[in-house]
């Protein structure tokens, strides 16, 4: 824990003075005086340790068997010789290709025809080709799942759930199928809180509505979503044959924990229960306060917001009240799987230039425009190296001596089982009884290019 006197004491002129100059051979990783922000980078940093944080490891071992068992409970809903559309599209779901492949096989075994449509609102740049590319990045292709994938941004308007709020559904699904089965993960949402957040009902209301459906709901504002999403889903179910959905819940390691077929008649009630289960098992940063969090990656495969607001306790508008109180966030890179969609980068305080250069403006802008959150694409202070990023982030903190800073580095907000933790925060983590040091305290080192030498492995 911090020494509170040190945290609240103003820096003295002596503390702000430059330290004695060292010979190059004595400090090979010290920044050059000509390097940008060197005046901040010369501050002493606390040592950090690599720690493994343990969570409940229970998971689905045999995906095909679990999918089959879940769908068997709804076999009476699928008629032989009928046409069934499977809707898939949320990013980052564990083994989603196996789930879809098993669902395709089950529908065929039930004697029905089957095809898949992307159900992802405006993702993939809101284009037919882009959404096929997104599915392919999950491993979902006609060859891998054994059936046709039909992609289009065309929709059918079903009516209005509220005055001025039209409801849309994918035209190919609506006109080409006798039954539509959404497949989605149930989890806490990053932009709003309610009994129903991200899951089957949101996919029905927004994902299957394509860009027009997503736009229709998002223009009402996230403050309406807790009521509007389930209302829209129920309205759609009243107009379209959606006999049930296949709900997926993950554990804290982002591994499938439960697979369940939820009948339409119990959709709202059961999804509410599954959301509570998901919230209990989600990954968290087990700290009260953190001065700087370093995220190696953000991306749509990590979270719909690039970084999960439920983990970092922050949204565009400020602290969420959940999760640790974090002063500054550093983003080092984008995942390859996000394919340039940098939505959520606007929550960071400092970013590396390589992340900014990988940003696909069109994909990012389409996502943020549809969501009515242009702040999600704003670019924070941009630097070239890890050393600069950490130095600038610490310089932007209040009441923090760099040598006593509580710094946590993780791969991303979906994977918190491995983390670097500086000495001032280490005792708090170990006190949980769920953490073990796997690499002892050592200096935060940088290579000649100013990048971290320590890996997350």
Distance of alpha carbon 452 from alpha carbon 448, whole angstroms: 10
Rounded to 5°, angle at Cα 196 from 195 and 199? 150
pLDDT higher than threshold 60 for residue 22: no
Report pLDDT for 10: 36
Report the range of poorest mean pLDDT among 5-19, 37-51, 282-296, 426-440: 5-19
Work out the pLDDT band at 31, boundaries 50, 70, 90: low
| Closest C-alpha to 140, from 186, 184, 96, 102 | 96
Q: Helix or strand or coil: residue 314? A: strand
Distance of alpha carbon 448 from alpha carbon 362, whole angstroms: 35
Report pLDDT for 124: 82
If phi > 0 it is left, if psi is from -120 to 50 it is alpha, else beta; for residue 172 that is alpha
Q: What b/e readout covers 328-365, taking b as 16+ CB neighbours within 10 angstroms?
A: bbbbbbbbebbbbbbbbbbbbbbbbeebeebbbeebbb
More confident residue, 15 or 325: 325
Q: Contact at 8 Å (CB) between 182 and 87?
A: yes
Every domain of the chain and the residues it spans: 4-55+284-442, 63-281
Share of the chain above pLDDT 90, in %: 78
What average pLDDT does range 277-288 have in this prediction? Answer: 91
Share of the chain above pLDDT 70, in %: 93
Distance of alpha carbon 395 from alpha carbon 66, whole angstroms: 50
What average pLDDT does range 11-35 have in this prediction? Answer: 45
Q: Contact at 8 Å (CB) between 326 and 355?
A: no
Distance of alpha carbon 178 from alpha carbon 112, whole angstroms: 10
Retrieve residue 416's tokens: 């918190």
Work out the pLDDT band at 6, boundaries 50, 70, 90: very low
What pTM was estimated for this model as a whole?
Answer: 0.81
Secondary structure E strands in 45-164: 48-53, 83-88, 113-118, 148-149, 155-162
Give the phi and the psi of residue 62 in degrees, each rounded to 5.
Answer: -115, 100
Q: Would you say the C-alpha torsion 9, 6, 429, 42 has a positive or negative sign?
A: positive
Q: Tens of pLDDT along 227-269?
A: 999 999 999 999 999 999 999 999 999 999 999 999 999 999 9
CATH number of 63-281: 3.40.50.11440
C-alpha 305: how far from chain center: 6
Q: Contact at 8 Å (CB) between 56 and 252?
A: yes
Report pLDDT for 7: 42
C-alpha radius of gyration, the chain, whole number: 24
Q: Tens of pLDDT along 178-194?
A: 999 999 999 988 778 88
What average pLDDT does range 84-109 have in this prediction? Answer: 95
Q: How are beta strands 318-319 and 314-315 bridged, if at all?
A: antiparallel
Report pLDDT for 426: 97
Work out the pLDDT band at 340, boundaries 50, 70, 90: very high
C-alpha 378: how far from chain center: 18
Q: Helix or strand or coil: residue 368? A: helix
Q: Tens of pLDDT along 196-210?
A: 988 999 999 999 999
Q: Contact at 8 Å (CB) between 2 and 424?
A: yes
More confident residue, 155 or 366: 155
What average pLDDT does range 137-141 have in this prediction? Answer: 93
Distance of alpha carbon 54 from alpha carbon 434, whole angstroms: 5
Work out the pLDDT band at 20, boundaries 50, 70, 90: very low
Work out the pLDDT band at 125, boundaries 50, 70, 90: confident
Distance of alpha carbon 238 from alpha carbon 41, whole angstroms: 61
Residue where the block lists tokens 């296949």: 246
pLDDT higher than threshold 80 for residue 106: yes
Secondary structure E strands in 65-222: 83-88, 113-118, 148-149, 155-162, 165-170, 179-185
Q: How are beta strands 435-442 and 48-53 bridged, if at all?
A: antiparallel
Q: Would you say the C-alpha torsion 140, 337, 209, 184 has a positive or negative sign?
A: positive
């Amino acid at each position: 824990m911090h020494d509170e006197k040190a945290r609240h004491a103003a820096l003295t002129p002596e503390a702000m003075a430059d330290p004695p100059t060292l010979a190059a051979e004595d400090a090979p990783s010290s920044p050059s005086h000509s390097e940008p922000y060197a005046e901040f980078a010369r501050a002493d940093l606390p040592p950090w340790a690599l720690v493994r944080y343990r969570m409940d490891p229970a998971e689905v071992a045999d995906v095909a068997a679990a999918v089959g068992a879940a769908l068997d409970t709804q076999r009476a809903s699928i008629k032989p010789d009928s046409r069934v559309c499977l809707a898939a599209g949320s990013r980052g779901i564990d083994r989603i290709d196996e789930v879809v492949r098993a669902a395709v096989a089950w529908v065929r075994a039930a004697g029905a025809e089957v095809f898949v449509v992307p159900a992802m609102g405006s993702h993939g740049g809101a284009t037919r080709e882009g959404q096929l590319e997104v599915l392919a990045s999950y491993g979902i292709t006609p060859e891998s799942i054994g059936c046709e994938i039909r992609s289009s941004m065309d929709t059918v308007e079903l009516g209005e759930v509220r005055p001025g709020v039209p409801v849309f559904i994918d035209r190919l699904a609506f006109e080409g199928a006798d039954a539509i089965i959404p497949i989605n993960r149930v989890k806490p949402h990053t932009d709003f809180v309610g009994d129903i957040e991200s899951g089957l009902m949101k996919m029905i209301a927004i994902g299957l509505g394509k860009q027009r459906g997503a736009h229709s709901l998002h223009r009402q504002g996230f403050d309406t979503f807790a009521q509007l999403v389930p209302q829209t889903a129920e309205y759609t179910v009243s107009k379209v044959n959606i006999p049930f959905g296949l709900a997926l819940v993950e554990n804290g390691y982002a591994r499938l924990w439960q697979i369940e077929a939820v009948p339409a008649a119990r959709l709202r009630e059961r999804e509410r229960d599954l959301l509570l289960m998901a919230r209990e098992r989600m990954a968290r940063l087990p700290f009260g306060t953190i001065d700087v969090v370093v995220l190696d990656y953000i991306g749509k495969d990590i979270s719909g917001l690039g970084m999960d607001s439920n983990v970092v306790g922050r949204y565009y508008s400020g602290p969420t009240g959940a999760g640790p109180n974090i002063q500054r966030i550093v983003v080092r890179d984008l995942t390859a799987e996000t394919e340039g969609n940098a939505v959520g980068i606007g929550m960071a305080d400092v970013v590396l230039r390589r992340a900014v250069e990988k940003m696909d403006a069109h994909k990012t802008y389409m996502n943020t425009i549809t969501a009515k959150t242009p702040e999600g694409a704003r670019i924070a202070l941009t630097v070239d190296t890890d050393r600069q990023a950490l130095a600038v982030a610490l310089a932007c903190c209040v009441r923090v001596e760099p040598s006593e800073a509580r710094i946590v580095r993780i791969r991303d907000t979906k994977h918190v089982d491995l983390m670097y933790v500086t000495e001032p925060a280490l005792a708090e983590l170990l006190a949980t009884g769920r953490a073990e040091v796997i690499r002892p305290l050592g200096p935060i080192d940088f290579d000649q290019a100013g990048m971290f030498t320590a890996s997350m492995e």
